[in-house]
Amino acid sequence: DIQMTQSPSTLSASVGDRVTITCRASQSVSSWLAWYQQKPGKAPKLLIYKASSLQSGVPSRFSGSGSGTEFTLTISSLQPDDFASYYCQQYNSYPFTFGPGTKVDIK
C-alpha cells in the first residue's frame, strides 16, 4: 500500500493568514492526488483533484500543487469557514489511501 503522511498534524492560524499543508507519498502517485476538507460531524468535501484542479464551487483561495511524492495545499487568505481538518488521498493505485489529516484551528 502507498503510505501518505501530512505535516503539520495541527496548525494554528489567524484569519487572513496564508496556510500551507504538505502531503507526502511513500512512492510516486503521479498527479493522482485529491484534497478534502472535513468539519466536525460532517462528510468530507472535495476541494482539489488531480493535484491542482479546483473542484467546481470551491473558492479560488484554495490551490494545490505538486507531483510524484510531494504535494501542497495552500489557502491564500484563511477565512473563518476554513477552520477544519484537511486530508489528502492518493488514487494512483489500489487500495486508495488517505493521509492522517491536518487540523487547522484558530490561533
Partner 1 sequence: QLQLQESGPGLVKPSETLSLTCTVSGGAISSSSSYWGWIRQPPGKGLEWIGHIYYSGSTYYNPSLKSRLIISVDTSKNQFSLNLSSVTAADTAVYFCTMATEYYSDYWGQGNLVTVSS
Q: Report the residue number, 68 or 101, with the smaller CB distance to partner 1.
A: 101
Restricted to residues 2-31, the positions that interact with partner 1 (CB under 8 A) are none
What contacts 91, CB < 8 A, 6 or more positions away? 29, 32, 33, 34
Is residue 64 a contact residue for partner 1 (CB under 8 A)?
no
Q: Which stretch binds partner 1 (CB under 8 A): 12-20, 21-29, 43-51, 70-78?
A: 43-51
Q: Which of 27, 21, 33 is nearest to 69 (CA)?
A: 27
**Terminal-to-terminal C-alpha distance of the chain:** 36
Q: Report the residue number, 17 or 52, with the smaller CB distance to partner 1.
A: 52
